[in-house]
Amino acid sequence: MGIAWLTASRSLGRLALEHMESAGSIAAQLTRNAAENLPAGELEKKLSRASDEGRPLRIKLGLDPTAPDIHLGHTVVLAKLREFQDAGHKVVLIVGDHTARIGDPSGRSETRPVLTSEEILSNAKSYESQAGLILDQDPERYELRFNSEWLDMPSADLLELIRTTTVAQMLERDDFAKRYKSGAPISILEFLYPLMQAYDSVAINSDVEIGGTDQTFNILLGRDIQRHYGLPEQAVITMPILPGIDGVDKMSKTSGNEIAITASPDEMFGRTMRIPDTAIDQWLELLAIERPDSETSPRDAKAMLAKAIVERFHSTDAAIAAEAQFSSQFVDHELPEDVEEVEITAEDGLIHMPAALAEAFSISRSEARRLVEQGGVKVSGEPFDQGLLDAKADDLDGNVVQIGRRRFKRFRIAR
């Protein structure tokens, strides 16, 4: 894993070895930064029982592969899984290739778009690879499952599952209740999602399920479904949700406020520096990063946070280089040295800027035109005349063109 999370995880491992008789101590350490531990005392009982039986607990996390990358928000719960692994337990990571076809309605005010089977499969493979950056994938401590293994069930089995829960129970969910009250549509398919997530706990015989606070209803429903099928009910641990770089909404690819754990060092550092000052403490706490001195300015605190995140997923050298790059670009206002080149074709010695920008930066011509007209384009650090739509080819050839704060291309003119 590479990193700061291991400090807490190693202490848990020592605690498990040195205090085998104290399930309460281990439970307290494992839930120290959780939002909720439900029902009260359940995790301690399961730890004690597992110790008596000489077996590890099975710790469940389900992730729907709705985007190609795991982001920092996912790492909050993945880090908690790692702590359980280092305390001697087995993580069961469920890739929701079947439930992703429905789309999790949690926290949604409208029905989610449906992904294609090809998109789901591609994202699932990516999730499996990226989870290995945080989790120990030793088979003794890790099990990867795809819920299509059991959710592609006969209709008789599906009807038995549906029979366990009432519409009234589903409407207790805050998001469903709000949509029902406002008259917004709720599909029957969305009602199936919590049931299917709950059935995952039956299929893998989960002892403990971990998720974000937005998953509380679904995870508690898992206890009801386990009881219906005659299984011991899982303990529930929910973790606080990391806000995105806007500091407001839950981090997600859909909202565009995420930082992927596979992002380049420069992108990772730069996007972290965009979080509002009010979000710094929450990011430090949820990502388990050491707090700076109380006298540290917000800008310096964000820089320390950004360096720690880059170091966690890349290296110390990469973090130092990313900070230097950010400073030269945004503090000293220097242009980056390593800029991708794009070839642009001139017509009669002129370049039509909206077309050139659309081609170079993979944006629409209308967006490119808007950037030009609103003064959002720079050439070699100088603002491009927003009254012009065409530029002389000689004025652009070899120069760095910038849109927004962090997007650069060096234009090479083909004549």
* pLDDT, tens only, 209-268: 999 999 999 999 999 999 999 999 999 999 999 999 999 999 988 788 999 999 999 999
| Domain around 384 | 341-414
Mean pLDDT score, 34-44: 95
> Which range among 63-77, 134-148, 237-251, 378-392 shows the weakest confidence by mean pLDDT?
378-392
What integer pLDDT is reported at residue 332 of this predicted model?
A: 53
What integer pLDDT is reported at residue 105 of this predicted model?
A: 56
My answer on whether 70 and 215 are in the same domain is yes
> Which range among 7-11, 76-80, 118-122, 154-158 shows the weakest confidence by mean pLDDT?
7-11
In a domain, 248, yes or no: no
**pLDDT tier for residue 180 given thresholds of 50, 70 and 90:** confident
My answer on whether 61 and 83 are in the same domain is yes
Q: Is the pLDDT of residue 172 over 90?
A: no
In a domain, 408, yes or no: yes
Which of 205, 239, 273 is the last residue before a domain boundary?
239
My answer on whether 40 and 75 are in the same domain is yes
The structural domain count of the chain equals 3
pTM > 0.85: yes or no: no
Cβ pair 236, 219 in contact under 8 A: yes
What integer pLDDT is reported at residue 405 of this predicted model?
A: 73
Closest to 236 in 3D by CA, of 80, 38, 82, 49: 38
What integer pLDDT is reported at residue 73 of this predicted model?
A: 94
**pLDDT tier for residue 335 given thresholds of 50, 70 and 90:** low
Q: Is the pLDDT of residue 75 over 70?
A: yes
In a domain, 244, yes or no: no
Q: Is the pLDDT of residue 108 over 90?
A: no
My answer on whether 373 and 274 are in the same domain is no
My answer on whether 390 and 358 are in the same domain is yes
Q: Using a CB cutoff of 8 Å and minimum separation of 24, what contacts does 332-341 make?
A: 333/381, 335/380, 335/381, 335/400, 335/402, 335/408, 336/400, 336/408, 339/400, 339/408, 339/409, 339/410, 340/408, 340/409, 340/410, 341/409, 341/410, 341/411, 341/412
Closest to 330 in 3D by CA, of 295, 311, 293, 303: 303
What integer pLDDT is reported at residue 333 of this predicted model?
A: 59
> Which range among 180-194, 320-334, 378-392 shows the weakest confidence by mean pLDDT?
320-334
**Tokens found for residue 114:** 């449906």
Instruction: Give the chain's mean pLDDT.
Output: 87
Which of 223, 239, 255 is the last residue before a domain boundary?
239
Which of 331, 359, 383 is the last residue before a domain boundary?
331
Q: Which residue would you say has higher pLDDT here, 361 or 9?
A: 361
Cβ pair 311, 319 in contact under 8 A: yes
**pLDDT tier for residue 336 given thresholds of 50, 70 and 90:** low
Residue in the block written with tokens 């409407």: 171
My answer on whether 273 and 389 are in the same domain is no
In a domain, 390, yes or no: yes
> pLDDT tens, 361-412?
988 888 899 888 888 898 887 888 878 899 988 888 888 899 877 788 889 8
Q: Is the pLDDT of residue 109 over 70?
A: no
Beta partners for 90?
A: 58
